Chains A and B, each alone.
Chain A
Amino acid sequence: MNVAVKSIQKILLTMLLALAIGALFILFIGENPLEAYGALLRGAFNGKLKIGTTLASFTPLLLTSCAFAVAAKAGAFNVGVEGEVFLGGITAAYIGINWTFLPAPVLMIVCFLGAMTVAALWALIPAVLKAYYRVSEVCVTILMNSVALYITSYLVSGPMSAGVANAQSLPVTVNLPQFMKPSSVNAGLFIALITVVFMIWVLNKTTFGYKVKTVGTNPSHAEYVGISPKKIFIQSMMLSGALGGMAGCIEVLGVHGYFLNNFAAGLGSNGMLASLIVKNNLIFAPFMSFFLAVLKSGAMGMQQSTGVPKSIVDTITAVFIIVATMELLFQFKDKKNKKEKSK
């Protein structure tokens, strides 16, 4: 309990410091920090549309950060979440467009299952290469992201093209209901939230979660107690892939309504960032995802409502993120405690 409180305290303090350093930077470039932060907050929270936009960009990050963290728990550094989002998306689109013989609710479920399956199989490739041939999953997944992008890009400008000016597919026949219109936040948010809570539960409470953690922290011990590190490594990579695929499916069925070329650009890497900042802690990752989503839509809002150019907004956001990665406040506290003790 104490540890959790301390961690939250640490995160809050870090954010405060990030704000302070960001403010210095804003001053340095000759803007008013209060105004800029005001615009940022308004950009993220002012009115239905802004809140909706924030929540809409929060939704995929929730899943991609969770996807990265799940793989990390088993000791995998899965850069490939982005590719999994793409492939999940295209599968959902394919099923949603073509399998209209299914009744809508069933079709919806099949879209999710299909997206998750294909994405999981995509993740299976680097997992098997790593588990059986010791090929670095970092290398393979970085490369595979481009492959996924080009495959989907090929499909939506060729065989699956809607024949319009953009590279996109026909609209899918089932949609996740949107709310807070006109923003594109949709029922996928709840699906993602439930999924993440479920994943936290799986990792902390179930036998599978225990095995994943064992393999991630000490594979040699895992093998000895009868847990197959290879099997678990592959399973969690596939799970990670499935989560990425789910994110892709939600984006297609909930946000766009069709597969749009290159729609997932940055979703994977931002999720990875959210997870890495909190050192792959599954409970904190959603909060960090939310923080990043707020930053993102806040930055868009800042561009929309003030004269601050986008490059400055982006610079401030980046400074924020860099500061947020550092645990320095926590260290300050530690040192202080020590000094007091030694006196």
Chain B
Amino acid sequence: MSEYVIEMKDIVKSFGNVHAVRNGQFTLKKGEIHSLIGENGAGKSTMMKLLYGMYPIDDGSIRIHGDHIPSISPKIAIEKGIGMVHQEFMLVNELTVLENIILGFEPRHGITIDFDKARKTVEQYINQYGMDIQLGKKINQISVGEAQRVEIIKTLTRGANVIILDEPTAVLTPQETKQLFVILQNLRKDGKSLVFISHKLNEVMEISDRISVMRQGNYIGSVSKEETSPAELAKMMIGREVFLNIEKTQTKPGEKVLEVKDVWVSGEKEISKIRGVSLDVRAGEIVGIAGIDGNGQSELIEAIAGLRQVEKGSVLLDGKELGGLSPKQIRKAGLSHIPEDRNTRGLNRSMSIKENLIAVQVGEAPFCKGVVRDDKETLEYAKQLSEVFDIRPRDPEISTQSLSGGNAQKVVVAREVSIGGKLLVASQPTRGVDIGAIESIRKILQEVKAKGMGVLLVSADLEEILSLSDRIVVMHEGRITGRLKAEDANEDNLGLLMMGGTASAEERGSTT
């Protein structure tokens, strides 16, 4: 028997002209947590999808428990005890949590599904790992964190002893991440082997036994946790030194550019998801909204942008009432908006970089003459932005389909900060983005502020909130539970407020 549960050797995989993996190497020992890190587009997900049999490999070999497996399908992978939690959740919205968990491995009663048995089996695992999952709800009614746990339970009920987690923490709050880590530790204790993909080096350092690094489809190397440091890892990933802690530029806040007054907003499933939120943002400052995902931040942002109806209350942008205005009119009034979901909101993946860069200015000079689009002007502009914002590759004519997460996000950021509005709403601007890109996006936000734009930043990443914001508001269950000056805030008091606790009296007094 081999020392390794999994051995992937000399893996090659391309999609058309994209060489996703050129030289992939990966091994996994029994009972270890092995992290796989690399920039966006380094080929991490592809490596793991190949292991899970989602695509055939072009070249190389895969061994599971020492056996050479010539061709893998998800079915075979599952039979061999491999489970995968995908970067994009593989959950069917219209089905219930329980149905999703048992899909493909349904306990049967003849041809019908034995839901009782299914429930019992699943509950057993839920209890064993102390997870909080409501089996009867539909997927579109549960939070991201819960969906994540559903994915893990899914692998467990299928008898996985190797579990691959592709960027599981990208969408989690610190608290949820902590909970997840407890679960992962327990799984390791039970003898499961885990692959953990992440961009967050501190998490990687916290949880892993070994760490492998990939860059541009190539295997760079593996190190054990004890022998390395975040700085070294970052260098391996990017090929140069990185500085994440940006120095805050000091500016004097000017006029109020955004005033939200006692706003109530409905959510997808419930009315009044937001209940009476008031806040303001001045020119030349960054206001951070901290909060666990699903506490109304998304709804608030969408309401400001005119993408969701406001039940009551008023929003003023640069003194202009936004109630009843269309998204287009709100943009005209001075809003720039980096949405939380770059794939469906932020970008049109079927169009080129060039076209995405002018998406909000279509039909406006100089990108059109009359009703005709001006391609030359557009290309010129796009080339310029690509240069300034370091969008790679430098060819604005190519489709955004093939862009890595970080570069895709840069397209959105470039577009939104270049239209020169008065307020920039940035929702999760660095989620799922590699550190190189995080570095540059954070720098851009600082520059925007320095130019006198007001910035409203929503992030589940407390470190990001803390390092960028001048003022911080905390949201919990549709209400604001705390307002702090940046210098008074730290992970602990923010965490407490995010969980619904109250801040101490003096902190309250210091709100503006």
Contacts and interface: CB of A to CB of B under 8 A. Distances in A.
| Whether chain A touches chain B in the assembled complex (some CB pair under 8 Å) | yes
Interface of A: 205-211, 213-214, 217-218, 220-228, 342
B412 to A, nearest CB: 10
Given A218-B344, A221-B359, A226-B330, 16 more contacts: A205-B373, A207-B373, A209-B373, A213-B351, A218-B349, A220-B345, A221-B347, A221-B348, A222-B348, A223-B307, A224-B327, A225-B327, A225-B359, A226-B327, A226-B329, A226-B331
A214 B373 contact: no
Contacts of B331: 225-226
B508 interface: no
Given A217-B351, A228-B328, A342-B58, A211 B344 contact: no
A46 to B, nearest CB: 43
Interface in B2-59: 58-59
A210 B359 CA distance: 9
Interface of B: 58-59, 305, 307, 326-331, 337, 339, 344-351, 355, 359-360, 362-363, 368, 371-373
A220 B344 CA distance: 6
Given A224-B339, A226-B331, A207 B344 contact: no
Nearest to A210: B362
A142 to B, nearest CB: 25
A225 B419 CA distance: 12
- A-B residue pairs, 7 tightest by C-beta: A226-B328, A207-B363, A217-B350, A225-B359, A218-B348, A225-B360, A224-B345
Nearest to B344: A220
B59 A342 contact: yes
Which interface residue of A205, A214, A225, A342 has the most chain B CB atoms within 10 A? A225
A205 B372 contact: yes
A210 B373 contact: yes
A226 B360 contact: yes
Contacts of A222: 348
Contacts of A220: 344-345
B158 to A, nearest CB: 32
Given A223-B327, A226-B331, A342-B58, A206 B348 contact: no
Contacts of B355: 210
13 contacts: A210-B362, A211-B362, A213-B350, A214-B359, A217-B348, A217-B349, A218-B350, A220-B345, A223-B327, A225-B359, A226-B326, A226-B328, A226-B360
Interface centre among B307, B345, B362, B373, by most chain A C-beta atoms within 10 angstroms, is B362
Contacts of A208: 371
Nearest to A342: B58
Nearest to B360: A225
Nearest to A231: B326
A209 to B, nearest CB: 8
Contacts of B363: 207, 210-211
A211 B360 CA distance: 11
B489 to A, nearest CB: 30
A296 B326 CA distance: 49
A217 B349 CA distance: 8
A342 B59 CA distance: 8
Contacts of B359: 214, 221, 225
Contacts of A210: 355, 362-363, 373
Contacts of A217: 348-351
A209 B347 CA distance: 17
A226 B331 CA distance: 7
Nearest to A204: B373
Nearest to A220: B344
A221 B372 contact: no
A224 to B, nearest CB: 5
Given A206-B373, A224-B345, A224-B346, A214 B351 contact: yes
Nearest to A224: B345
B442 to A, nearest CB: 23
Contacts of A223: 307, 327
A199 to B, nearest CB: 14
A215 to B, nearest CB: 10
A206 B347 CA distance: 20
A209 B351 CA distance: 13
A225 B307 CA distance: 10
A224 B337 contact: yes
A221 B330 CA distance: 16
Max chain B Cβ within 10 angstroms of own Cβ: one of A206, A209, A210: A210
A285 to B, nearest CB: 19
B328 A227 contact: yes
Contacts of B326: 226, 228
A227 B345 CA distance: 12
A228 to B, nearest CB: 7
Contacts of A227: 328, 362
Contacts of B348: 214, 217-218, 221-222
Contacts of B345: 220-221, 224
Nearest to A202: B371
A13 B263 CA distance: 61
Most buried by A among B331, B347, B348: B348
B327 A206 contact: no
